[in-house]
A = this chain, B = another copy of it.
Amino acid sequence: MTTFAPIFVPEELRRATSDSAWLEAMLETERALALVESRLGIVPSDAAGSIGGSCRPELFDLDELLAEGRSPGNPVEPLVRALRERVGGPAADYVHWGATSQDILDTAAMLVSRRAAKLVLAELDGVAAAAAALAERHARTPMVARTLLQQASPTTFGLKAAGWLSGVLAAEATLVRVRDERLAVQLGGAVGTLAAFGDRGSELVAELAEELELAQPVLPWHTERTRIAELASALELVCGAVSKIATDVILLAQTEVGEVREAGGGVSSTLPQKRNPIRSTLVLACARGTGAAATLLRGGDHEHERAAGAWHAEWSALSDALALTGGAAAAACETLQGLEVDEHRMRENLVASRGLVLAERVSFLLTPSLGRAVAQEVVADAADRARANGSSLREELAADARVTLAASELDAAFDPSGYVGSAEELVDAVLALYRSTVDERGGVR
């Protein structure tokens, strides 16, 4: 995503997914490779030292490298050439020893992904914490639930927030798992056999993985791209989870609904009455903007031992998916952290139908005595009369001889707080899951 990036993506994430970050990760890979090769006696240790000393991003002209990268179709070749020049002397021969461009770029992709994922997860932690706080605070705040965007029955705002939290926790768990288990070092040499390393290949891969703190793959994965696909789908899950939050907030913030408001929501100078749900809007914009699913998740059929195109398409798709998912999470975090909840308006909307949102409840209460069919008929008739007369459903039911409920029973029936079932228990269950998740991770990832 080039266009207007600062509007959508936090600066740190933009940096973490920038060309500079990729360059840094490629150099780190070259450095680590030389180092572990020297440990195994594959390259001289002074060469490794010399190489390591030159693997500093500020020594390279990124623009030039990229311009030269067009010809071979990737930036590694010119980078290796420049690095060799920089190292000089016999040590130069040991730069990139036994590796292929894809080894460097794939490993760099994993390093970039790990760092960016950390930032995404930090934002997501913020979303989860804010959702948990809302769930807890509003565990008993009644509001009307809406199905197909129509008022249906009572629920609590806490349960709604708990649902948001539940989605975030599920997405986060997947992203954590992918980050911890599936971001693996890539080293296979020209065609994935580790041929240049004789019988030391696997040992070298293990050392490199340890040095870079990445997982060790069973096989080089030049054209076995499930790791990339799993990362992409984890990011899509995150986008989906925060999009749900944003969609609900935008709908609840509508002028005619007015149950929530973004703190400092976009104020228009010409339209002073508006409180635009800008953060939520940015969530949806970011989530819609990633092509991760299309390019990364569906693009797994890389040909033979290196794909012609499918591989090259991954770099930007990955950067964008990471950056935009983080952008979506960051905006969701801001949305929830500053969400103004209007309990009064929630209650107004809940009673605006003059009891109709409790029709289901009354039907259930009448069924034992009247049978289901008659009970529903009685309630439907009363609902019709209430609408026609501008009266309440309670009044109309009270006036119907078939209704055998006592006044106190009717009063209880029309208390919306009394018809939210297991809402509070469900909120508690999600909060318990949230807390155990936080404990498990020690609070920081």
Contacts and interface: CB of A to CB of B under 8 A. Distances in A.
A170 interface: yes
B166 A282 contact: no
B218 A297 contact: no
B149 A219 contact: no
A192 B159 contact: yes
Central interface residue in A17, A93, A163, A250, by most chain B CB within 10 Å: A163
Central interface residue in A147, A288, A298, by most chain B CB within 10 Å: A147
B145 A305 contact: yes
Q: How large is the interface on A (under 10, 10 to 19, 20 to 34, 35 or more residues)?
A: 35 or more
Interface in A201-237: 201-202, 218-221, 223-227, 229-230, 233, 236-237
Interface string A107-146: 0000000000000000000000000000000000000011
A371 B303 contact: no
A69 interface: yes
B150 A253 contact: yes
A343 interface: no
B192 A304 contact: no
A7 interface: yes
A433 interface: yes
Given A233-B233, A237-B230, A353 B273 contact: yes
Central interface residue in A162, A253, A268, A280, by most chain B CB within 10 Å: A268
A307 B163 CA distance: 14
A148 B284 contact: no
Given A150-B255, A251-B149, A281-B73, A4 B66 contact: yes
Nearest to A225: B240
Contact of A300 (B163, B241, B297): B241
A429 interface: yes
A290 B289 CA distance: 11
A17 B2 contact: yes
A389 interface: no
A266 interface: yes
A398 to B, nearest CB: 17
Interface string A143-161: 0011111111111100100
Interface stretch (A31-39, A360-368, A402-410): A360-368
Contacts of A247: 301-303
Interface string A60-95: 000100110111111100000000000000101100
Given A239-B298, A254-B254, 8 more contacts: A3-B318, A5-B19, A145-B193, A195-B360, A225-B244, A256-B257, A271-B360, A293-B298
6 contacts: A72-B278, A167-B225, A246-B309, A250-B308, A289-B313, A293-B294
